[in-house]
Structure 1
Amino acid sequence: MRIAPPHAPAPVQSPAEPSPQVLHDADPIRRALLRRASALTLGTTAAALGAWPARAAPEAQAQAQAQAEGGVTQGHWHDRSRLRDIPWRLRLPEGDGPVALVVFSHGLGGSLDGGTEWAQAWAEAGLATLHLQHAGSDRAIWRGGLPAVKAAASAEQLVERAHDVQFAVEQLLKLRQDRSGPWSRVRPEALGMAGHSFGAQTTLAVAGRDYQVRGAPDLSESHFKAFAAFSPSVGHGAGGIKGITRPMLCLTGSLDGNPLGQERDGRYRRAVYDALPAGAKAQLWLEGADHMSFGGGGERGAGFGQRLLGRPRERAPERLAAHHAALIKSITTDWWRWRLLEDEDAMTRLKAPKGLGPDDEWLQG
């Protein structure tokens, strides 16, 4: 295990990478952000100019649960203020005691199945998960082919995703207060959030990333205690990440490139950890791990676009899959147990995690 990683200059971000950030006026995403900020300032209607979506209203139509089996309950909420359905899947560990809960956001073109492998491991360790599916950037976009998928990696969709998370937190806290079924087990003071790829960008936004655009909406959610970003990226600038002060775990690897863009390795993803303020951050770097290694299984979007572009998966991620999965499960589980439950044994284990390969890296700062 190397103590400090080699730092190569981060390549220029491809527009296909789902990480809306702003840097200069010529950047198309900055222009989109500024247009929406101007629409808010001038009071122009959303229908006319596509202004930023409003934050979800507290009230919602909670839909009946679609299924409940083996600790897993599934259904959807309806956000009246945005006329938007939000599918969800709640996975609870065995027992009837109170639990910490992690909200999980899937990657571009994904679904409720994204991150299932991680959620199952967390459930075995006594942690609950709430998976959300985001209309407009979920698996339905594949019907339009690669152009539709790339178009979905937008500032507009990031905003919708963040509001989905805010709305979901409002609902789960309300249901918990009402002692409604399985929601009564959730500990409101022990909430975390994680996401893969575009879900990692959603996680950074909810954690408090500042997009440095006048009039932009607040995408943060104060109820979360800690975060984990699987395959994050900074986009066109890292400045706004410096404002994230709550604990953040970044997970990436040597082959964790952009499935739809130019970057073929994961070095550019290191910039997220580097930009975070010192004190409550951590990073797991896995040699030989690619973008699919961090998806958690069951998610079409994790590698489907790459295959459509004719990019075969390298052998290393498949050969090392068991090793990578075991480390991701053990380290993220200890991360949640330490940061959400103040488990001192988990904190001690994270000082020197077991099982790291000679070129894997674990950093805390």
Structure 2
Amino acid sequence: MDKTRRELLMAGSAAFLSTAATAPAFAATATNDTRGPRGAARDGRAAAGADPASGSTVQQGSWRDPQRSREIPWRLRMPGGDQPVALVVFSHGLGGSLDGGTEWAQAWADAGMATLHLQHAGSDRAIWASGPRGVKAAASAEQLMARGQDVQFAVSELLRLQQLGEGPWRRVRPDALGMSGHSFGAQTTLAVAGRDFQVASAPDLTESHFKAFAAFSPAAGLFSGGLKGITRPMLCLTGSLDGNPLGQERTGDYRRAVYTALPAGAKAQLWLEGADHMTFGGGGERGAGFGQRLLGRQREQAPQTLAAHHTYLIKAVTTDWWRARLLDDEEATRRLKSPKGLAAGDEWEQG
């Protein structure tokens, strides 16, 4: 390991260990390919399928970054029709997979926006075989660097395919790209948004093509000052029970530090009373909360009772966020001034 990577790993690992692991989601894929990301075509060819209920199509494949000799599984969800679309890249949490964020992706597809889910080797669901110790070891600055580079490569590849007019990629609007992720995926989102890790010679993970961001269950860690350099629109989503399934934090209060540290202007935050870490994963119940269960912790009743309420608000607010920030939708911008459906204890702020 060279000096730069060692410095960033040692200085940053504690920050990323404060992020909670998202569960490996094993919900069935919407494609006709039952092989999963490890069976996807290595040369970028995709297995295709469709969601009859919404008209959206789903394709799945894998890209290879030759400079890093690294496979990057992907899943593209396209809304129905043939018109140009905004696209949101989604990064799963620690121990997750391409299934992470599926609920949110379908809501965005229903609103006319595409999503590109990425799977990150080294911090995906394969790490669960090593138990809690292996999972915590994967929450490192080294893995964050790999994730950020995955995103950078994926953006360059999707733009290349868009310019070539290949398949569904031709519909992507290069001027309407967003980035999102849950937990470690939220850390990935903050990194490509321009977070300064305040380590000499640290690699630049910034991806300039993104117009806006949404971080589900973010954490400030040791580098909260470095968030001041994020000036593009950033939506933070967390809640009162959004603690760390593998750590000491039991509430989501520490996650508020991200919104507080971001510069004033283009930031927003949705706080949901009774919402926990699983609430924001967007991958359904199956497989979710695995890390928490490994430690013998039971899920509290509130997030289960309030699940429908939380899901509605997350879908509504994030959909309006993307439509307002990526597509300059005036009606969505108006709705974001005072989102409907907030219950007692829920909070919405922009600043």
Give the shorter-chain TM-score range.
0.7 to 0.9
CA drift at 1:29: 3.1
Counterpart of 1:144 (choices 111, 130, 138) is 130
Do the aligned partners of residues 200 and 300 (structure 1) sit closer, same or farther apart at CA in structure 2, a change above 3 Å counting? Answer: farther
Specify the SS of the correspondent of 1:323.
Answer: helix
Equivalent pair of 2:12/2:141 in contact (CA under 8 Å)? no
For the residues of structure 2 that align with 1:302 and 1:276, how far apart are their CA atoms?
A: 29
For the residues of structure 1 that align with 2:155 and 2:48, how far apart are their CA atoms?
A: 21
Aligned AA (1:150): K
Summarize deviations over 1:139-181 as a string: whole Å, max 9, x none.
Answer: 0001111111000000000000000000000000000000000
For the residues of structure 2 that align with 1:202 and 1:295, how far apart are their CA atoms?
A: 15
> Do structure 1's residue 180 and structure 2's residue 166 form an aligned pair?
yes
CA drift at 1:249: 0.1
Aligned AA (1:152): A
| Residue of structure 2 equivalent to 1:273 | 259
For the residues of structure 1 that align with 2:84 and 2:43, how far apart are their CA atoms?
A: 22
Specify the SS of the correspondent of 1:221.
Answer: coil
Please, what TM-score do these two structures have when normalized by structure 2? 0.87
| Residue of structure 2 equivalent to 1:37 | none
Specify the SS of the correspondent of 2:76.
Answer: strand
Equivalent pair of 1:206/1:219 in contact (CA under 8 Å)? yes
- Moved runs in structure 1, 4+ residues, more than 4 A? 298-302
Equivalent pair of 1:89/1:130 in contact (CA under 8 Å)? yes
For the residues of structure 1 that align with 2:160 and 2:143, how far apart are their CA atoms?
A: 26
> Do structure 1's residue 254 and structure 2's residue 240 form an aligned pair?
yes
| Residue of structure 2 equivalent to 1:227 | 213
CA drift at 1:63: 2.0
Equivalent pair of 1:139/1:301 in contact (CA under 8 Å)? no
How many equivalent pairs are there? 313
> Do structure 1's residue 343 and structure 2's residue 329 form an aligned pair?
yes
The structure that has the greater radius of gyration is 1
| Residue of structure 1 equivalent to 2:44 | 63
CA drift at 1:66: 2.7
Do the aligned partners of residues 62 and 188 (structure 1) sit closer, same or farther apart at CA in structure 2, a change above 3 Å counting? Answer: farther
CA drift at 1:69: 3.1
Equivalent pair of 1:197/1:232 in contact (CA under 8 Å)? yes
Please, what TM-score do these two structures have when normalized by structure 1? 0.83
CA drift at 1:303: 1.1
CA drift at 1:232: 0.2
| Residue of structure 1 equivalent to 2:11 | 30
Range with greater deviation from structure 2 (292-301 or 90-99): 292-301
Gaps of at least 5 residues in structure 2 are: 1-6, 15-41, 52-56
Equivalent pair of 1:139/1:300 in contact (CA under 8 Å)? no
Do the aligned partners of residues 238 and 32 (structure 1) sit closer, same or farther apart at CA in structure 2, a change above 3 Å counting? Answer: closer
Specify the SS of the correspondent of 2:304.
Answer: helix
CA drift at 1:138: 0.1
RMSD of equivalent CA atoms: 1.7
For the residues of structure 1 that align with 2:317 and 2:69, how far apart are their CA atoms?
A: 38
Summarize deviations over 1:205-252 as a string: whole Å, max 9, x none.
Answer: 000000011111100000000000000001123110010000000000
| Residue of structure 2 equivalent to 1:198 | 184
Summarize deviations over 1:9-41 as a string: whole Å, max 9, x none.
Answer: xxxxxxxxxxxxxxxx9x9731779xxxxxxxx
1:109-128 aligned at under 5 Å gives the runs: 109-128=95-114
For the residues of structure 2 that align with 1:353 and 1:279, how far apart are their CA atoms?
A: 19
Summarize deviations over 1:240-287 as a string: whole Å, max 9, x none.
Answer: 001000000000000000010000000000000000000000000000
Aligned AA (1:256): D
CA drift at 1:64: 1.3
For the residues of structure 2 that align with 1:147 and 1:301, how far apart are their CA atoms?
A: 19
For the residues of structure 1 that align with 2:43 and 2:210, how far apart are their CA atoms?
A: 22
Equivalent pair of 2:122/2:143 in contact (CA under 8 Å)? yes
For the residues of structure 2 that align with 1:92 and 1:31, how far apart are their CA atoms?
A: 36
Specify the SS of the correspondent of 2:173.
Answer: strand
Equivalent pair of 1:111/1:133 in contact (CA under 8 Å)? yes
Equivalent pair of 2:269/2:348 in contact (CA under 8 Å)? yes
Do the aligned partners of residues 120 and 316 (structure 1) sit closer, same or farther apart at CA in structure 2, a change above 3 Å counting? Answer: same
> Do structure 1's residue 304 and structure 2's residue 285 form an aligned pair?
no
Equivalent pair of 1:193/1:224 in contact (CA under 8 Å)? yes
1:231-246 aligned at under 5 Å gives the runs: 231-246=217-232
Specify the SS of the correspondent of 2:197.
Answer: coil
Equivalent pair of 1:109/1:301 in contact (CA under 8 Å)? no
Equivalent pair of 2:177/2:211 in contact (CA under 8 Å)? yes
For the residues of structure 1 that align with 2:134 and 2:284, how far apart are their CA atoms?
A: 21
What fraction of aligned residue pairs are identical, expressed as a percent?
74
Equivalent pair of 1:209/1:240 in contact (CA under 8 Å)? yes
CA drift at 1:62: 4.1
